[in-house]
Amino acid sequence: MTTVEAPSSHLKENPWEMARSQLRQTAGQIGMEDSMLNVLLECKKCVAVSVPTRMDDGSVRVFEGFRCTHNVARGPSKGGIRYHHEVTLEETKALAMWMTWKCALMGLPFGGAKGGVVVNPKQLSVTELERMTRRYTTEIINFIGPEADIPAPDVGTSPREMAWIFDTYSMNKGYSVLGVVTGKPLEVGGSVGRVEATARGAAFCVREALRKQDLSIEDRKVAVQGFGNVGSNLALILADQGATIVALSDSGGGVHSADGIDVRAALAHKRETGSLEGLAGTETLTNEELLLVDCDVLAPCALEQVITGENADQVKATIVCEGANGPVTPEADAILDDRGILVLPDVLANAGGVVVSYFEWVQGLQEYFWKESEVNAKLNDIITRAFAETWRAHEERSLPMRQAAYALAVGRVAEATTTRGLYP
């Protein structure tokens, strides 16, 4: 039996301390009392679990897994499950807190949660992944549920893993529980529009931000870091709306063309070869170089802390749209703000996924499913409203967009906590 130990993290800053620092800053801006701040600074509960998994060769590897709930003042907790070899408890807690603010900003009746397993899913077979997922689900089964904590896909997971979680939970209950997890395949209670939802929400935010500058997406130059679900769909949506995609990247590196990249050709090339490298009509560049490409909109859609104090002064975009969670560090935030670069924060820009997850949860509880046009229209309404509220706070309080979004979201969670009172 082999125990898989967590490697040292790629993160330059402790994400949990970063999230808590952001909350303290917001608390000072909105005049929050210390007693309330003390409550919101902590996660309600966290669990670390051992996930022994039988490999295809008969050996057993033991992975480490986490599930954290930050807050449930506004409703059951909601948040993705991440499979990545650099997952840490501190990162999971931070992502849970950010999910609390994201749900509150969108006006959803959820609190924030997050989960993860320390694993490189690309190194496991499908059968090994399924066994690991089912064992992880079993280890956290007493913490999740449609009225308690609802998981969803995140980095390294997909509808396939959500189907395994749904089935494992349902088998233990003795009946199908559609609302236990969102991001499921359509065949088992998923929602149309969920796969593209995060990217579509980000595209709505880019559209609204450009409108504030009396611009449209047509002929805007866009660079997208990350070519997973969010990045690839965002590039495709913006290209279809007339944008020129000048740079794309995946975990192995990126490609660049000042004349524009055919996103569908890039998707086909990635499917055929497993990477973007060698795409016809493009030149190679690194993930770090992509962040500094000459463009109008830069969308980091991969992992955290890629724009830092070391490179923020070299970013050439006029808008940074955070498709990933926490891709801009606080130091970089200040530099970008001083340079007049508009940052669309993650709690706003990538909230489309949790919004349509909410739609899926509602549809599952009702066992009545909507048309894709209805899903996208409702998503547009919620994202556009949240953007308008954030922009208003941004202008009226002279705050950067992130601080404006936090002021709204944290205020709503604090209000719900006050209204409910402290038990006992």
Task: Give me 321's structure tokens.
Answer: 């749209």
State the fold for domain 197-349: Rossmann fold (3.40.50)
Check residue 1 and give its pLDDT.
63
Determine how many CB atoms are found less than 10 A away from the CB of residue 356.
Answer: 29
Check residue 10 and give its pLDDT.
57
For residue 200, the number of C-alpha atoms closer than 13 Å in the C-beta half-sphere is 21
**3-class DSSP state for residue 374?**
helix
Which is catalytic among the residues 78, 114, 184, 221? 114
Task: Give me 7's structure tokens.
Answer: 């490697």
Closest by CA to 124, choosing from 160, 96, 74, 175, is 160
Q: What is the DSSP letter of 196?
A: T
Check residue 303 and give its pLDDT.
79
| Domain 2-175 identical in fold to domain 197-349 | yes
Q: Are 59 and 130 in contact (CB under 8 A)?
A: no
DSSP letters of 52-78?
EEE-TTS-EEEEEEEEEE---TTSSEE
Check residue 344 and give its pLDDT.
98
Q: Are 360 and 190 in contact (CB under 8 A)?
A: yes
pTM, full prediction:
0.93
Check residue 115 and give its pLDDT.
98
| Average pLDDT per consecutive 10 residues, the chain (424 residues; last block may be shorter) | 56 86 94 97 98 98 98 97 96 96 98 98 97 98 97 94 98 96 96 96 98 94 95 97 96 93 96 92 94 97 91 97 93 96 96 97 95 97 98 96 97 97 92
- Listed by start position, the domains of the chain span 2-175, 197-349
Task: Give me 152's structure tokens.
Answer: 């969803």
C-alpha distance from residue 365 to each of 177, 190, 195, 300 (Å): 9, 12, 20, 34
78 catalytic per annotation: no
Q: Which helix (H) or strand (E) holds 210?
A: helix 197-212
Is 2-175 a domain of CATH 3.30.70.2520? no
